[in-house]
Structure 1
Amino acid sequence: MSRISPGRAAALGAVAVALLVSGCGRQDGSGGSGGHGRGGGPGAGVPSQPVTADSLDPDAPRYGAEPAERPAQPSRDCTGRTGTLLEPGPVDSAMGLRAMTVWLTHCGTGTYRLDGYPTLQVLAEDGTAFDVHSLRGAQAVTTGVEDPGPHPVTLRHGESATAGVVWRNTYANTTKAPVEGARLQVLPAPGRPARTIAPDGGIDLGSTGRIGTTAWRKAAAESGAGRPTGPAPSTPAS
Structure 2
Amino acid sequence: MSRRQARPRPPLAATASLLVALVVAAPLLSGCGTQSAGSGSAAGGSAAPSGRTPVNDPGKDGVRVTSVTLPPASPSPSPSPSDDYIVSADSLPGDAAKPSADYEVTNSGTEALTYTVIFTFLSADGGAMDNPSVTVRDVGPGKTVRGTVRSGEMPPSAPRITGAEVLEVTAVPSAEAPAEPGVCPASGVRVSVDRGDAAMGLRVVSLHLTNCGTRPYSLDGYPLLELLDDRREPVDGVKILDGTGGITTGLGSDLPPEPFTLAPGESATAGLAWRNTTQFGTPVNVPYVRVRAKTGTDPVIVTPNLDLGTTGKLGVGPWQKTKPGQGAAG
**Shorter-chain TM-score tier:** 0.5 to 0.7
Q: Is the strand fraction higher in 1 or 2?
A: 2
Over residues 69-99 of structure 1, what are the superposed CA-to-partner deviations in whole Å (9 max), with x where a residue is unaligned?
Answer: 9x9xx99954354422111112211111100
Partners of 2:267 and 2:217 lie apart in 1 by: 10
Larger Rg: 2
Using CA pairs under 8 Å that are at least 6 residues apart, name the structure with larger relative contact order, 1 or 2. Answer: 1
CA contact (8 A) 1:82 1:107 kept: no
Partners of 1:67 and 1:145 lie apart in 2 by: 34
CA contact (8 A) 1:119 1:134 kept: no
TM (norm. structure 1) is 0.56
Q: CA deviation at 1:220?
A: 2.7
Alignment pair present for 1:166 and 2:269: no
Please tell me the residue identity of whatever aligns with 1:218.
Answer: K
Partners of 1:67 and 1:220 lie apart in 2 by: 37
Alignment pair present for 1:197 and 2:317: no
Give the equivalent residue in structure 1 for 2:108: none
Unaligned runs of 5+ in 1: 1-65, 224-238
Give the equivalent residue in structure 2 for 1:135: 241
CA contact (8 A) 2:220 2:257 kept: yes
Q: CA deviation at 1:104?
A: 0.6
Identity of aligned residues (%): 37
Give the equivalent residue in structure 2 for 1:186: 291
Partners of 1:190 and 1:125 lie apart in 2 by: 25
CA contact (8 A) 1:76 1:158 kept: no
Please tell me the residue identity of whatever aligns with 1:150.
Answer: P
Q: CA deviation at 1:67?
A: 10
Give the equivalent residue in structure 1 for 2:208: 103
User: Which residue among 180, 203, 206 is the counterpart of 2:309?
Assistant: 206
Please tell me the residue identity of whatever aligns with 1:208.
Answer: T
Q: CA deviation at 1:196?
A: 1.2
User: Which residue among 215, 221, 225 is the counterpart of 2:318?
Assistant: 215
* 1:33-182 to 2 correspondences below 5 Å: 77-83=181-187, 84-131=189-236, 132-146=238-252, 147-174=254-281, 177-182=282-287
CA contact (8 A) 1:117 1:150 kept: yes
Instruction: Say how many residue pairs are matched.
Output: 152
Q: CA deviation at 1:181?
A: 1.1
Give the equivalent residue in structure 1 for 2:54: none
Over residues 104-160 of structure 1, what are the superposed CA-to-partner deviations in whole Å (9 max), with x where a residue is unaligned?
Answer: 111223111111111222211211111111110111111232333211121122211
Please tell me the residue identity of whatever aligns with 1:79.
Answer: V
Partners of 1:93 and 1:86 lie apart in 2 by: 22
Q: CA deviation at 1:211?
A: 0.6
CA contact (8 A) 2:179 2:190 kept: no
Partners of 1:103 and 1:164 lie apart in 2 by: 9
Partners of 1:222 and 1:77 lie apart in 2 by: 20
Please tell me the residue identity of whatever aligns with 1:142.
Answer: T
Partners of 1:67 and 1:133 lie apart in 2 by: 39
Partners of 2:206 and 2:232 lie apart in 1 by: 22
Q: 1:112 to 1:140 in 2, by over 3 A?
A: same
Please tell me the residue identity of whatever aligns with 2:307.
Answer: D
Partners of 1:129 and 1:152 lie apart in 2 by: 30
TM (norm. structure 2) is 0.42
